[in-house]
């Protein structure tokens, strides 16, 4: 089954990015050009991780950005989302009256929520004395939509609040969901993106699965974008960072990597057709299967076949590590970071964001610079 993001494009009016490069687009742009300055170890139990590079966020600056109130029982996963949402809404939230807040929501890509919190609560149920003395303050963190709920409650966003879980393609599926939500009039604007935390459980999962090439790093991060209808934004005379055109996501089943490559090829072709963008107009491709043992070459093949050439490529995974749920959102952020530098051409730049997962999901998003 294939889902098409048709109709009016979405405009990205602001964004918040938290990555191993630091906070914001400027440091991300620098990391994409020159690599990370340093690799920080995770805050919790670094000795519990597998022998693989771990690229953690160096400093969340929680106290400066969020204050200390209400964070006592909030886990690291949710703090990533709260910091990113604060950056995305900086200078915006004060302009939203009660009616606007009621029309603003959150769509978050995450496949499990916080694995760290789940493991901690699970262990407590096994090792603590009956009747299972689990810390009640930790229990809300195991719910998949805990982060999305905390974001909405902190800034009083009362419209749609949803979590999308579809493996590596989750962020693109979340963007597709956001488009549908706004088209149906269920929200006027949405915070949409993905979040992934570095944890021993996730790192060991990647390490033992054999899905990643030897020495490939595992990272963490969150990228959130405030989006609304692009045509309505233009009519109001306001500006934006970029617009999200067509998005295609589909499930190819657990067949061979070649079958998934074929599926991605069709996704790219349909997305370009929906966007009314010719293959020759694509300036850069942002790939997601970087470091994946069986999918990397298939993703590159599918894009080359669709475009009829080898376009300039951005491999976020080489710089920030494997980000799973957040990979698609961070790929979009990478394009925005690169486009901070003035274009050498008169027309708006066009980027292609592709995604392939070990679970058979594939996806493609067309992003165009705002002019």
Q: Per residue in 271-288, pLDDT tens?
A: 999 999 999 999 999 999
* Better-scored residue on pLDDT, 64 or 292: 292
**Residue where a domain stops, chosen among 235, 266, 300:** 235
Confidence of residue 317 (pLDDT cuts 50, 70, 90): very high
pLDDT recorded at residue 44: 41
- Least trusted range by pLDDT, from 250-254, 256-260, 313-317, 359-363: 256-260
Instruction: Kindly tell me if the per-residue pLDDT of 262 is higher than 60.
Output: yes
Note whether 324 and 358 are same-domain residues.
Answer: yes
Note whether 49 and 122 are same-domain residues.
Answer: yes
Closest CA to 85 of 66, 98, 71: 66
Cross-strand pairs, 354: 364
Pairing of strands 221-229, 189-196: antiparallel
Note whether 10 and 135 are same-domain residues.
Answer: yes
pLDDT in tens, 164-216: 999 999 999 999 999 999 999 999 999 999 999 999 999 999 999 999 999 89
Note whether 201 and 155 are same-domain residues.
Answer: yes
Note whether 246 and 151 are same-domain residues.
Answer: no
Instruction: Kindly tell me if the per-residue pLDDT of 42 is higher than 60.
Output: no
Cross-strand pairs, 12: 227, 242
CA 213 from centroid of its chain's CA atoms: 22
The residue-averaged pLDDT of 291-314 equals 95
Note whether 254 and 203 are same-domain residues.
Answer: no
Task: Count the residues in the chain.
Answer: 371
Element of type H or E holding 319: helix 316-320
Note whether 110 and 55 are same-domain residues.
Answer: yes
Average pLDDT, the chain: 91
Task: Decide if 42 contacts 54 (C-beta within 8 A).
Answer: yes
Note whether 311 and 212 are same-domain residues.
Answer: no
**Residue where a domain stops, chosen among 235, 262, 282:** 235
Half-sphere exposure of 154 (CA within 13 A, CB side): 24
Under 8 Å CB-to-CB from 160, ≥6 apart: which residues? 105, 106, 107, 181, 186, 187, 190
pLDDT in tens, 118-142: 888 888 888 877 766 787 788 889 8
pLDDT recorded at residue 7: 63
Please state, for a pLDDT cut of 90, what percent of the chain lies above it.
73
Task: Decide if 119 contacts 205 (C-beta within 8 A).
Answer: no
- CATH, residue 322: 3.40.47.10
Note whether 194 and 217 are same-domain residues.
Answer: yes
**Number of domains the chain contains:** 2
pLDDT recorded at residue 39: 56
The residue-averaged pLDDT of 316-333 equals 96
Note whether 90 and 219 are same-domain residues.
Answer: yes
Closest CA to 12 of 252, 148, 189: 189
Helix (H, G, I), strand (E, B), or coil: what is residue 187? coil
Beta strand ranges found along the chain (DSSP E): 2-4, 10-19, 22-23, 54-55, 104-109, 161-164, 189-196, 218-219, 221-229, 242-251, 284-287, 313-315, 350-356, 361-369
Can you say whether residue 220 is alpha, beta or left, with left for phi > 0 and alpha for psi between -120 and 50 degrees?
beta
The residue-averaged pLDDT of 81-108 equals 92
pLDDT recorded at residue 338: 96
Q: What is the pTM of this model?
A: 0.93
The residue segments making up the domain with residue 365 are 242-369
pLDDT recorded at residue 63: 81
Note whether 174 and 252 are same-domain residues.
Answer: no
Closest CA to 4 of 252, 180, 250, 248: 248
Under 8 Å CB-to-CB from 116, ≥6 apart: which residues? 44, 75, 76, 77, 197, 199, 200, 201
- Least trusted range by pLDDT, from 15-19, 122-126, 223-227, 241-245: 122-126
**Residue where a domain stops, chosen among 195, 214, 235:** 235
Q: Alpha-carbon distance 324 to 88, whole Å?
A: 21
Note whether 266 and 216 are same-domain residues.
Answer: no
């Amino acid at each position: 089954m294939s889902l098409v993001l048709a109709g009016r494009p979405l405009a990205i009016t602001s964004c918040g990015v938290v990555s191993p490069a630091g906070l914001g687009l400027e440091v991300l742009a620098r990391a994409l050009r020159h690599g990370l300055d340093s690799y920080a170890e995770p805050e919790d139990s670094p000795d519990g991780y597998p022998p693989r590079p771990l690229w953690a966020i160096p400093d969340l600056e929680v106290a400066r950005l969020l204050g200390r109130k209400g964070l006592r029982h909030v886990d690291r996963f949710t703090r990533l989302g709260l910091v990113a949402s604060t950056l995305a809404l900086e200078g915006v939230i004060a302009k939203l009256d009660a009616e606007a807040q009621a029309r603003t929501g959150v769509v978050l890509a995450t496949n499990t929520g916080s694995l760290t919190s789940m493991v901690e609560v699970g262990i407590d149920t096994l090792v603590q004395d009956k009747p299972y003395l689990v810390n009640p303050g930790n229990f809300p963190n195991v719910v998949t939509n805990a982060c999305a709920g905390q974001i909405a409650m902190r800034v009083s966003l009362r419209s749609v609040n949803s979590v999308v879980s579809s493996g590596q393609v989750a962020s693109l599926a979340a963007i597709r969901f956001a488009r549908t939500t706004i088209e149906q009039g269920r929200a006027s604007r949405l915070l949409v993106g993905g979040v992934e935390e570095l944890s021993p459980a996730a790192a060991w999962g990647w390490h033992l699965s054999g899905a990643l090439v030897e020495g490939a790093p595992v990272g963490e991060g969150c990228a959130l974008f405030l989006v609304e209808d692009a045509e309505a934004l233009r009519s109001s005379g306001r500006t934006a960072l970029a617009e999200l055109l067509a998005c295609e996501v589909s499930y190819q089943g657990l067949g061979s990597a070649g079958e998934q490559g074929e599926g991605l090829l069709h996704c790219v072709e349909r997305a370009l057709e929906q966007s009314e963008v010719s293959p020759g107009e694509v300036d850069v491709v942002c790939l997601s299967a970087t470091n994946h043992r069986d999918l990397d070459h298939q993703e590159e093949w599918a894009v080359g076949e669709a475009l009829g050439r080898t376009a300039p490529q951005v491999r976020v995974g080489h710089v920030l590590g494997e980000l799973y749920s957040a990979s698609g959102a961070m790929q979009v952020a990478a394009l925005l970071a690169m486009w901070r530098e003035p274009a050498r051409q008169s027309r708006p730049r066009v980027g292609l964001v592709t995604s392939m997962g070990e679970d058979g999901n594939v996806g493609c998003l067309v992003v165009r610079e705002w002019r």
